[in-house]
Amino acid sequence: MLKFIDGGVCAAQGFRAAGVHAGVKTHAEWKKDVALIVSDVDCAAAAVFTKNVVKAAPIHVDLRHLADGKARAVIANSGNANACAPQGEENAERMCAAAAGTLGCKPEDVLVSSTGVIGQRINVEAIEAAVPALCAALERSAKASDAAGHAIMTTDTTKKEVAVETTVGGRTVRMGGVAKGSGMIHPNMGTMLCFLTTDCAISPEMIRTALLETVNVSFNRISVDGDTSTNDTCLVLANGLAGNETIAARGPDYDAFLEALRALCTELARKMASDGEGARHLITCTVRGAGSEQSAETIAKSVVSSTLTKAAIFGADANWGRVLCAMGYSGEEFDPDKVSVRFASAAGEIQVCADGRGLDFDEDLAKKILTEHDVEINIAMGEGEASCTCWGCDITYDYIKINGDYRT
């Protein structure tokens, strides 16, 4: 039975975490800015990275370190993206070497991630100096996961942490994750970092397969501002300490693992969308009755990515014309005259469009529905049987404020 539990990245057996202040950004003296997540034993490891042509240095390093499908630890910092920066790969390697030196493993068994400002040399000396304290702080506790989660936050207003428990091959298996992502979250990996840990025994090949399948239906279905970043990384470490028979192929065990991983990542994705920079609303758009799941996904993504729809939700304005408009420029073919649209939230549900035409509706009720934090846009296409849900957020004055002067 799948259930949500506490503990974040420390929920699974054999994982410890820590987060400390190293001083990557000199003028944020209170903020934890370096995180470390370590397994007691070697892990099968896999990662998905940004599709941006401009990739940050840590990604190039991780690609090399993941060549053998194994890892022991992840070191990550906020405050500097180490992208388009002088000595980028050299400094990313130094971060791995520093962690490996204190942990007693090979530098190639350490993965590295960075997030923050692009184009400035990372203060790797500050990170190296902080590694002993970081390793000393390692422990397996909810508090330690919390510290790691906070250390990777940038403009995030809340820490994102989830853990689940399930049964795989008769054994209790746990998995958990911490993530950051607030601006630049978009389908195909916007600036987000996500570190997942599990004690499931699974081969490097199957963990890679599971991660890809899961990212496509979770993180790739959220959008904050349509920008995708240089640093996006979602990685998973599986140390096998749950004692289940190693998953080495598809089958019931893989399915059980995948179900849990999907639940974990979908919840993390929703938390990211909900904490979009400056956001006041989580927008959940579900497209039903589409000709294919791919078509439903493209249309739902187009709606949650539409700046005009986002602005309308910010204003609690039931401007469904913008929903139809965003559907129409998604690139998918469909018959507008079959479309119906409903807005829903904890305050109720209201149909605003049927057969592609506006309905008279109660504007006061619509306003009430759209004033809730979590709002749904439910679309029926009348084309087929497929459906898909994507998540986004509204665009607000605070988004502009946050991004109008990000570097200072």
Residue with tokens 């008769």: 170
**Structure tokens given for 355:** 């057969």
Q: How far is the CB of 361 from its own copies (least distance, A)?
A: 10
**351 binds its own copies, rule: CB under 8 A:** no
Q: Which amino acid is at 150?
A: H
Q: Is 115 designated active site?
A: no
Distance, in Å, from the CA atom of 220 to the CA atom of 214, rounded to the nearest integer, reads 9
**Do residues 178 and 160 touch, judged by C-beta distance below 8 A?**
yes
Q: How far is the CB of 87 from its own copies (least distance, A)?
A: 10
Q: How far is the CB of 400 from its own copies (least distance, A)?
A: 6
**252 binds its own copies, rule: CB under 8 A:** no
Segment near its own copies (CB under 8 A); pick from 103-111, 264-272, 322-330, 381-389: 322-330
Given 115, 191, 198, 298, the catalytic residue: 191
Distance, in Å, from the CA atom of 153 to the CA atom of 155, rounded to the nearest integer, reads 6
What is the contact mask toward its own copies in residues 131 to 170, using x (rule: CB under 8 A)?
Answer: ----------------------------------------
**Do residues 290 and 387 touch, judged by C-beta distance below 8 A?**
yes
Total binding residues toward its own copies, as defined by CB under 8 A: 63
**227 binds its own copies, rule: CB under 8 A:** yes
Distance, in Å, from the CA atom of 292 to the CA atom of 158, rounded to the nearest integer, reads 35
Count Cα neighbours of 251 within 13 Å in the Cβ-side half-sphere: 9
Nearer to its own copies, 174 or 322 (CB): 322
What is the contact mask toward its own copies in residues 287 to 316, using x (rule: CB under 8 A)?
Answer: ------------------xxxx--xx-xx-
Residue 378: partners with Cβ closer than 8 Å, 6 or more residues away: 285, 286, 288, 341, 342, 343, 344, 349
Name the pairing type of β-strands 70-80 and 348-354: unpaired
**325 binds its own copies, rule: CB under 8 A:** yes
**199 binds its own copies, rule: CB under 8 A:** no
**Do residues 129 and 99 touch, judged by C-beta distance below 8 A?**
no
**370 binds its own copies, rule: CB under 8 A:** no
Beta-bridge mates of residue 48:
234
Distance, in Å, from the CA atom of 18 to the CA atom of 37, rounded to the nearest integer, reads 7
What is the contact mask toward its own copies in residues 74 to 93, using x (rule: CB under 8 A)?
Answer: -------x-xxxx-------
Footprint of its own copies (CB under 8 A): 51-55, 81, 83-86, 117-120, 183-184, 225-230, 305-308, 311-312, 314-315, 317, 319-322, 324-330, 332-334, 336, 353, 356-358, 395-397, 399-408
Which residues are known to be catalytic? 191
